[in-house]
A and B are shown apart, each in its own frame.
Chain A
Amino acid sequence: MTKPIATRIWAVLTSLKLTVASLSVLIVLVLACTLAQVQLGTLGAVTVYIHSFWVWWKPAGWEQSIPLMPGGALVGAVLVVNLVAAQIKRMELSWKKSGMWVTHAGLVLLIAGEFVTGAFQRETQMTIEEGQTVNYVESPRELELSLIDGTDPGHDEVYGVPEALLKAGSTVAIPGTPLSLKVKHFVRNADLADRAPAEPPTMADMGVGPHVKVTEVPAITRDDEMNRTVVFVEPIADGKSYGTWLVSNAVSVPQEFTHQGRVYSLGMRQRREYLAYDVTLRDFRHDVYPGTQIPKNFASLVHLSTPDKKEDRDVLIYMNQPMRFGGKAFYQSSFGKEDTLSVLQVVDNPGWLLPYISCTLVSLGLLIHFAISLRRTQKGRSLAVEGSP
């Protein structure tokens, strides 16, 4: 007589073989991910192997990709389910097993923490020169189309349209203005060059666009390079078209048009997130070991201040000693301009405490378990001694 299907599924989910298989796949994934970093860069490799549910492979000449093996996200989810199910099946809810309960809870929390990190963590950068005050961070990879109304003498109205909204055929309304941007074409990465008069006309009829030849090339995945993204947009206001413009992060001068006396400038830049506080770089130090060029220490002395002056203090950021404020951690990451410019890696991860808690739980659980086992062993010995002739 065959077992009910639910029973069989339960048996698989609680199986130790599933644990071993998952851990084996995880080892392969980590190895493959490490090797792939040569070609894809850290972010690309982690996205393909660790933060995905499946690792996809496209054989040469095929139109479609096929799933090659489970990705890190799927393996992690299976491990959590396996761990919880095995705990329920095998472990008894008793004081003598309390250590193992705590240890397993710690392991589940560790894997859950990776999911929280994958889902919520945002990594940005703050590039700041000595004496400069900055109140924004920039994404190292994501871009945004910026529309700046610079008409007012005292301030600019800056609008940012994330790259994800720049889909061909879509229309993006700019809130608070009569403007909307009709996206005609989007190219993730392109080579740009002078367009010879004999070459076919481009989609753009305004700004620099008519004179630029755009050739689509494969997107960049390496960490130290950046796509030259191109988008053709048509600003429309009150039913009036302002022509089609080529906007790209490879074009570094403003392209302007005027609507009802207001001057708007189009551009593309790294995506920005503005902060509710200012960071001023007072000093950057790059120490080397005497007589060598081997780095000994990188440190940024910054001044942190909020508009209400509740925070108004100096903070020293150095290797592995970040500044934590407003839910973000500012790590010393890089430098430049003959040691007058500092690059801070800004990590926003609401689950940053979870690995610490999980490690504490695992350690605590093991201590409890060993203590209980030790006590039981000692008690057994005492009984044996008492009972001996």
Chain B
Amino acid sequence: MRLVSNKRQIRRVLVPRTGAWLVAAGAVLFFSGCQRDEVTHVRVPKGSPMAGSGIVPPLPRAPGGDRPAVPTPSGPMTTPDVVPQVPLKWTLPQGWTEKLNDGMRFATIKGPGDARFEVTVVVLRGAGGGELANVNRWRGQVGLPEFDDGALALARQRVESKAGTLALFDFSGEIPARARVIVGLLAFTDGNTWFIKMAGDAEPVGTARADFIHLLESLHFD
């Protein structure tokens, strides 16, 4: 049974309609295909998973599932308008040299000769972003995954000094090749936090570790 026998008639009926449909479909896709880019706003109760969401570090998905932290820029990350009320002092190991600076980076200390490590003394206002955030930043700098609170507690060592008790962290990683970072962290009563960080190639850092610990033990405020 034939509904319409004249092909020309079929084309006359269908072609214009088909073209119109294709143009309409294309127009719809073209004009509404892109996601609308506009400023969004949401009110988030404090304490909810979304609260303080602006500071959640980005976590790209890695093969295998675990999501390592994006390496953060080296150096402290907080507002730098810090003027320590009481300067921190220390005794340099033999052959080490220091250069005092103004502002956030309080001092830079070099090992003897062409030692392939550097010690930086940094003072930050307040908690300086917090212990966990900073530890994860240092771990990111040597290519290690982030810690949670439990792992942080396990990694924390103590060093006693006249200035107070320092939390000590020692991490070795592969970025750059065989890098190591040892950091002493001292929260002081004037509201500032001091970071004394030795970073460099794993081998010279390991050799200088004992001298660095002595330096930390010699910290004091006059």
Contact = CB atoms under 8 A, between A and B. Distances in A.
A164 B40 CA distance: 13
A224 B50 contact: no
Interface string B22-34: 1001000100111
5 contacts: A115-B29, A134-B50, A136-B50, A252-B133, A272-B40
Given A211-B80, A228-B70, A336-B66, A146 B53 contact: yes
Interface stretch (A56-64, A116-124, A323-331): A116-124
Contacts of B48: 133
Contact of A208 (B25, B38, B42, B78): B78
Given A159-B40, A197-B101, A211-B104, 15 more contacts: A88-B10, A92-B10, A94-B2, A155-B46, A158-B50, A162-B40, A208-B77, A224-B60, A251-B77, A253-B133, A254-B54, A254-B55, A272-B40, A336-B67, A343-B67
Bin chain B's interface residue count. Answer: 35 or more
A216 interface: no
Contacts of B75: 193-194, 208, 211-212
Contacts of B95: none
Contacts of B14: 88
B79 A255 contact: yes
Contact of B65 (A147, A173, A343): A343
B68 to A, nearest CB: 9
A334 B46 contact: no
B35 A194 contact: no
A140 B42 CA distance: 20
A176 interface: yes
Contacts of A197: 101
A199 interface: no
Given A148-B53, A211-B104, A127 B59 contact: yes
Q: Which of A93, A165, A193, A210 has the most CB of B within 10 A?
A: A93
Q: Which of B25, B61, B74 has the most CB of A within 10 A?
A: B61
Interface of B: 1-5, 7, 10-11, 14-15, 18, 22, 25, 29, 32-35, 37-46, 48-63, 65-67, 69-80, 101, 104-105, 129-130, 133, 136-137, 148
A332 B10 CA distance: 49
Nearest to A342: B65
Interface string A169-189: 000111110000000000000
Interface string A55-94: 0000000000000000000000000110010001100111
A153 interface: yes
Contact of A251 (B60, B62, B73, B136): B73
A274 B58 contact: no
A153 to B, nearest CB: 7
A143 B54 CA distance: 12
A267 interface: yes
Nearest to A174: B39
Nearest to A220: B60
A159 B11 CA distance: 54
* 3 A-B pairs with least C-beta separation: A192-B73, A119-B33, A267-B54
Interface residues of A, number: 84
A161 interface: yes
Contacts of B66: 336-337
A305 to B, nearest CB: 14
Interface in A238-285: 248-256, 265-270, 272, 274
Interface SS majority for chain B? loop
Contacts of B43: 155-158
A120 B33 CA distance: 6
A95 B77 contact: no
B58 A156 contact: no
B67 A127 contact: yes
A153 B51 CA distance: 11
B217 to A, nearest CB: 27
Contacts of B61: 125, 140, 223-224, 334, 343
Contacts of A19: none
B45 A158 contact: no
Nearest to A251: B77
B34 to A, nearest CB: 8
Q: Which of B46, B49, B133 has the most CB of A within 10 A?
A: B49
Contacts of A268: 58
Contacts of B80: 207-208, 210-211
B211 to A, nearest CB: 23
B113 to A, nearest CB: 21
Contact of B22 (A80, A164, A223, A255): A80
A254 B22 CA distance: 50
A156 B40 contact: no
Interface string A142-155: 01101110100111
A335 interface: yes
A92 B2 contact: yes
A148 B10 contact: no
Contact of B10 (A93, A147, A174, A335): A93
Contact of A148 (B29, B52, B69, B104): B52
A162 B101 CA distance: 39
A84 B25 CA distance: 14
B185 to A, nearest CB: 15
Q: Which of B42, B66, B104, B129 has the most CB of A within 10 A?
A: B42
